[in-house]
Chain A
Amino acid sequence: MVITLGGKLFFYIIMIMLAVFAFIPFYAMFAMGTYDSFKMFEFNGLPSNYLMENLKTVGGSTMLTFFKNSAIVSFFSIIFSLIFASLCGYGLAKFKFKGSKFLYNLILITMMVPAQLGIVAYVYEMRIFHINNSLLPVILPFTFSAFGAFWMKQYIEEAVPDEIIESARMDACGEIGIFFRIVLYLISPALITLGLLVFVWSWNSFFIPLVSITDLKLFTVPLGVNSFNGLYFTDNGAKILSLSFATLPVLLVYMIFSSHLESGLAAGAVKG
């Protein structure tokens, strides 16, 4: 295919303009976090010298608490979603039992239904279980990822040959042993992708924490960012700096594992 130099230049200009469009809010975020709120009108595109002061305002302890809570939420969300989704996907993919078709359809229906459907009763349920004063209300919805179970089933059907399972059975390996020693190993690429997805979803989660957590000590990063609006509503420099911190973990993880996440999210879209 022949494209003229002018044509190539045209396509490069489109790509670069859109790259700037995508990146400029991030740049503004990182740069403006270094400004004194009262001198922001002097913003000239370059970072300023007020980073340390803003850091002091954002403060160590509260921000650290938010980070700790978000880290706990994401950690347990990832661990449990991976275990339960892969167990479920394996059960549905490799065993024929009564009701398996029904359970599979249940997963498909769950994926269609918005997560907020039962929110009123869910928040009430957390209260009567006396777990509303913990991080559990935020973690629990991630522990049974319908998309995860669906995806694991598809993946296991393709990546785990029946012959391997059969020969392991011949070697008198227990069913549970087969899962933990052989299946988990074979599906590790999918586990990594699902883990990354759950990390992004749980780190970014806002609506459920907003309606189920009231104690400041339990605030996750998004709730913390929201609370900064009340705390320093005039100190925009500090507020923007706090955003840089809030988004940094997700941005870093994405930069490192971008191809994993892109393929996973594209698969996630086709979950209907």
Chain B
Amino acid sequence: MNSIAQSEQVKKIEKVRTKGFKNKNSYGYLFVLPFFILLLLFAIIPNIFTLFISFTKWNNYTDLTFVGLKNYIKIINDGLFFKSLFNTLRIMLISLPIGILLSLSLAFIIDQKIVRHAGVFKTLFFLPYITTPVAVGTLFGLLFDYQTGFINLILQKLGIFKEPVYWMSKPEYVVVIVSIIVLWKSFGYNMILYLAGLKTIPKELYEAADIDGANIWQKFFYISIPKLNSVTMFVVITSLIWGLQIFDEPALLLVATNTSASIASTIGGPGKSVYTLVSYVYEEGFILFREGMASAVSYLMTIVIVIFSIFSAKVLNKGEGES
């Protein structure tokens, strides 16, 4: 009885306080409305329409012909889809182990305040990540240019090669160059992620290790690395997700030194060795104008990425649970 009276009292007070704003909470709709109208118009509707297109044959201009699951079956059987996945995996397999080692070590060195001017180093390491990808691709293409490239000049001056190397001719070379770009671009960024992870490790752990007479290597291997397992998983998964969508850098890398000079003609490089899922969407949809196929590739790519994302969210939640 008493509590009911009390809640009545509270309601009365509430009423007085929100006087003039009777439907206060309905203002919420007003605030979120512009965002969700844009999301609906320019993301959700195109996404749904793309799903519809993926079940058709269409070249942008003629009428749509419904073909059911034919596009999906064709893509799965064609092998290019799995080749694109494999290409991403291969680039990551080359660049990630080195990248993780570098990022982790750098983050540790900065976190332990071993070197001075850490801020300057951080800025420098991070610079490649924010640099315009199109410019990065072109720049590396020109650095690896057959005649005028910086790399060939250096290698010849040092006497490592007598003749200039035509870097863009062989799949192995192109894969390695793209892996170098990926490494160059991402190690500073991953370092920032590791730094954030290291900040969560309690200082007492290191102090306890100091008392026990542990040296810096022991602290690195027995305290920092095990505590950063979830960050490492996260770095691996997000790198793979990003790798599936890599497009600008390889596309421009290949175009920069090619006389035919169009992305369409050089896409994927020799033996389609750096062809990725976004390259696939681009080629089907905007070179060959097979919109049904392009839409189906988009959806298959999204399925792969969403699986990775859910996995990474799980890993992150688990990591947070531990700490």
Q: Which residues of A line the B interface, CB within 8 A?
A: 1, 3, 7-8, 11-12, 14-15, 18-19, 21-23, 25-26, 28-29, 32, 37, 40-41, 43, 83-85, 87-88, 90-92, 94-97, 100, 103, 106, 110, 112-114, 116-125, 140-141, 143-144, 146, 149, 166, 169-170, 172, 175-176, 179, 200, 203-204, 206-207, 210-211, 221-222, 225-226, 229-230, 233, 236, 239-240, 243, 246-247, 250-251, 254-255, 258-259, 261-262, 265-266, 269-270, 272
List, in ascending order, chain A residues with CB within 8 A of B138's CB: 225-226, 229, 239, 243
Q: Hey, which chain A residues are within 8 Å of B310, CB to CB?
A: 112
Whole-angstrom CA separation of A153 from B298 in the bound complex: 30
Complex-state Cα separation, A233 to B254, whole angstroms: 12
Check if B36 is an interface residue, CB within 8 A of chain A: yes
Contact partner, A206, options B134, B147, B192, B309, Cβ 8 Å:
B134
> Contact between B122 and A233 (Cβ–Cβ < 8 Å)?
no
Complex contacts, B153 vs chain A, CB 8 Å: 40-41, 43
Given contacts A25-B184, A240-B142, A272-B316, contact A179 B31 (CB under 8 A): yes
Q: Does B139 contact A (CB under 8 A)?
A: yes
- Contact A87/B193 with A226-B255, A272-B312 known, Cβ cut-off 8 Å: no
Q: Is B81 an interface residue (CB 8 A)?
A: no
Q: How far is the CB of B231 from chain A (nearest CB, A)?
A: 10
Residues of B with C-beta under 8 A to A236: 142, 145, 148
Contacting pair B28 A96 (CB below 8 A): yes
Let me know if B39 and A146 touch, CB within 8 A.
yes
The 4 A-B pairs at the shortest CB distance, nearest first, are namely A95-B28, A91-B31, A118-B46, A88-B35
Q: What separation, in Å, do the CA atoms of A3 and B216 have in the docked complex?
A: 8
Cβ contacts B29-63/A at 8 Å (1 or 0 each): 11110111011001101111110010000001000
Say yes or no: is B259 at the interface (Cβ < 8 Å to chain A): yes
Interface majority SS (helix, strand, loop, mixed), chain A? helix
CB atoms of A254 and B21 under 8 A apart? no
Contact A207 B278 (CB under 8 A): yes
Is the beta-carbon distance between B50 and A117 smaller than 8 angstroms? yes
CA distance A124 to B56 in the complex (A): 15
**A-side contacts of B216, CB under 8 Å:** 1, 3, 7
Can you name the residue of chain B whose Cβ is closest to the Cβ of A253? B130
**Bound CA span A19–B128, Å:** 11
- How many whole Å from B235's CB to the nearest CB in chain A? 9
Contact of B150 with A28 in the complex, beta carbons under 8 Å:
yes
- Are B134 and A204 neighbours in the complex by a CB distance under 8 Å? yes
Residues on the B chain within 8 Å of A25, using CB: 128, 136, 139-140, 143, 184
Contacts of B60 on A, CB cut-off 8 Å? 124
Cβ of B77 under 8 Å from chain A: no
B2 within 8 A of A: no
Do residues A266 and B192 form an inter-chain contact, with CB atoms below 8 A? yes
Known: A19-B124, A117-B302, A229-B256. 12 other contacts (CB 8 A): A1-B206, A11-B115, A25-B139, A83-B34, A119-B50, A120-B291, A120-B295, A175-B24, A206-B247, A222-B132, A225-B138, A239-B142
A124 to chain B, nearest CB (A): 7
Interface string of B106-147 (1 = CB under 8 A from A): 100100101100010111111111111111101110110101
With the chains together, A28 CA to B142 CA distance in Å?
10
Q: Mark B3-22, 1 if CB is under 8 A from A, else 0.
A: 00000000000000110110
Interface SS of B by simple majority: helix
A29 vs B262: C-alpha distance when bound (angstroms):
22
Residues of A within 8 A of B184 (CB): 21-22, 25
Interfacial chain A residues near B45, Cβ < 8 Å = 118, 121, 125
B101 to chain A, nearest CB (A): 11
A-B contact pairs, 16 of them (CB 8 A): A15-B109, A22-B128, A22-B188, A25-B139, A97-B29, A110-B43, A120-B281, A120-B285, A120-B291, A140-B38, A210-B282, A236-B148, A243-B135, A250-B130, A258-B123, A265-B189
Task: Let me know if A144 and B43 touch, CB within 8 A.
Answer: yes
In the bound complex, CA of A188 to CA of B258 (Å): 47
Q: Which of A85, A118, A266 has the most CB of B within 10 A?
A: A118
Contacts of B47 in A (CB 8 A): 113, 117-118, 121
CB distance from A105 to the nearest CB of B (A): 12
Taking the closest CB of chain B, its distance from the CB of A243, in whole angstroms, is 5
Question: In the complex, are the beta carbons of A29 and B139 less than 8 A apart?
Answer: yes
Q: Assess whether B24 is in contact with A251, with CB atoms less than 8 Å apart.
A: no
Contact A15 B291 (CB under 8 A): no
Taking a contact as CB atoms under 8 Å apart, the answer to whether A222 and B143 are in contact is no
Residues of B within 8 A of A96 (CB): 25, 28
How far apart sit A123 and B46, CA to CA, in the bound complex (Å)? Answer: 9
Q: Which residues from A are CB-within-8-Å of B124? A: 19, 22-23
Q: Using CB atoms, name the residue of chain A closest to B310.
A: A112
How far, in angstroms, from A116 to B187 measured CA to CA in the complex? 25
Hey, which chain B residues are within 8 Å of A85, CB to CB?
A: 35
Whether B252 is near chain A, meaning CB under 8 Å from some CB there, is yes
